[in-house]
Every structure is written in structure tokens, then in C-alpha cells.
Chains A and B, each alone.
Chain A
Amino acid sequence: AQTVTQSQPEMSVQEAETVTLSCTYDTSESDYYLFWYKQPPSRQMILVIRQEAYKQQNATENRFSVNFQKAAKSFSLKISDSQLGDAAMYFCAYGGAAGNKLTFGGGTRVLVKP
């Protein structure tokens, strides 16, 4: 079974600064996707960024980028130029060959200080 671990329960960042969230996973599959989802308080979860395991190039979406280390099974998220609207729970998730069955990490709460 796959596992996803987020070791940082909470991270605090100053507005306009950069924060990096850690995620490690364990799998024996060779073909999979990794995701970062954002869940703002009392709002629905939305996809931040997605990485295909077969792609060596790290995914980037505007101020969000990942550092995907396949051999180390590490998938960190960097939020650059942090904004107040980035404050939320961030979940790392693994999706394997079994369709849309995602395994989520425990989440990291990001606090943004003005």
C-alpha cells in the first residue's frame, strides 16, 4: 500500500516570502502521479499542481513549483511571493494506476503573516 507523509503540521511565512512544504511517499509502482491540493478554511479543495512520475522536469504553476526527487520519493512544494490568499491546509497526494483513488498526507497548515 502507498503511504504519503507530510512532516510539517504547520508552516508560517511572511507575506511576499517563500515557503517550502515537504512530502515523502512510498510506493512500488512505476507509473503514478503526485499532487498538491489546497483546502482554504471552510472552502473546497482545489488542485495546486500535478506531477507525472515519468517526467523529470519539475512542474510549475505560476508562484507554485515542485521539487520532485523520484529516487528519494520526495515531492516538495515551493510557494514563492506568498500572498494572504495562500493561507490554507495543503495536502500532498499520491495517485497510482488504480484510477482516482488518491492517498493523502496528513496536511500542512500554512499561515501567511502580513
Chain B
Amino acid sequence: KAGVTQTPRYLIKTRGQQVTLSCSPISGHRSVSWYQQTPGQGLQFLFEYFSETQRNKGNFPGRFSGRQFSNSRSEMNVSTLELGDSALYLCASSSLTSGVSGELFFGEGSRLTVL
């Protein structure tokens, strides 16, 4: 069974640009969540999608957005990039449909560098 796949793995952007990251969950998983990992702030929850609907949202500005497609694949977009957006962006999928948290399966992440 294929794991969570994130693309691209590495990318470099300049301030003011926008970026789109993609995540393909494990087959059959309908929940996809996104996390930002930085040395200073650690791991922070961005948002979660389930059946194409945003179910949870973290405390990030509106420049961070996401969506989920009918095949459960998800994308996140960051507009008007800032230096502080440099981070490892992790996607995780879960088979949980409702209720209390289940096990998350993480991808290897997309490392974004903003110059």
C-alpha cells in the first residue's frame, strides 16, 4: 500500500510569490491534514479536510488556504510569501471518519525556502 505522497519535495520561492503544495493520501483515507514545521515554532496545525470540506483550521493568516478533491487528494496554497513561511510542510492522512483523533500517517514533507 503506497504511503502519503507529497510534491514537490523541495522548492525555492521569493517573497511575494505564491506556492501550491500537493498531497496524495493513503488509498481509502478521506481525512487529510496539514502541518507546518519550523525550528522556532515547532509543529503547528494548519487545517484538516474531510470529504472535500474543511473540518478544522489552525491559527494561520488567510494567506494559507487549502482544498481537497473528490479523490481525497489535497492541495495547500500560500500566497504573498514571506520569509517566515520557510518551513517543512507536512501532510498527514487518516482513516478516521469522526470522533476523537486516530493515527496520522505522514508524508515526507515539502520543504519550502523563501528568499
Chain A residues within 8 Å of B, Cβ to Cβ = 31-33, 35, 37, 43-47, 50, 52, 91, 95-107
* Contact assessment for A46 and B42 in the assembled complex, using a CB-CB cutoff below 8 Å: no
Partner of A100, one of B31, B44, B109: B31
- CB pair B56 A98 closer than 8 Å: yes
Question: What residues make up the interface of B, taking CB atoms closer than 8 Å to A?
Answer: 3-4, 31, 33, 35, 42-45, 48, 50, 55-56, 58, 90, 92, 94, 96, 98-109
Extra contacts, 19 of them, besides A44-B3, A45-B106, A101-B45 (Cβ < 8 A), are A32-B101, A33-B100, A35-B101, A44-B106, A44-B108, A45-B90, A47-B103, A47-B105, A50-B103, A95-B102, A99-B50, A99-B55, A99-B96, A100-B101, A101-B48, A101-B58, A102-B43, A104-B35, A107-B42
User: Do A100 and B56 form a contact, CB below 8 Å, given A45-B90, A91-B43, A95-B101?
Assistant: yes
Contacts of A98 in B (CB 8 A): 56
Q: A103 to chain B: which residues have CB within 8 Å?
A: 45
Q: Which residues of B contact A107 (CB under 8 A)?
A: 42-43
Q: A96 to B48, Cβ gap below 8 A?
A: no
Give chain A residues whose Cβ lies under 8 Å from the Cβ of B106: 37, 44-46
CA distance A101 to B43 in the complex (A): 11
A102's partner among B3, B104, B107, B108 (CB-CB below 8 A) is B104
The reply to whether B109 and A44 contact each other, CB–CB distance below 8 Å, is yes
A31 to B99, CA, bound (A): 10
| B104 and A99 contact, CB distance less than 8 A | no
- Nearest B residue (CB) for A54: B100
Note all chain A residues with C-beta closer than 8 A to B55.
99
Q: Give bound CA distance, A96 to B102, whole Å.
A: 10
Give the chain A neighbours of B92 by CB distance below 8 A.
Answer: 45, 100
CB B74 to nearest CB in A, in angstroms, measures: 12
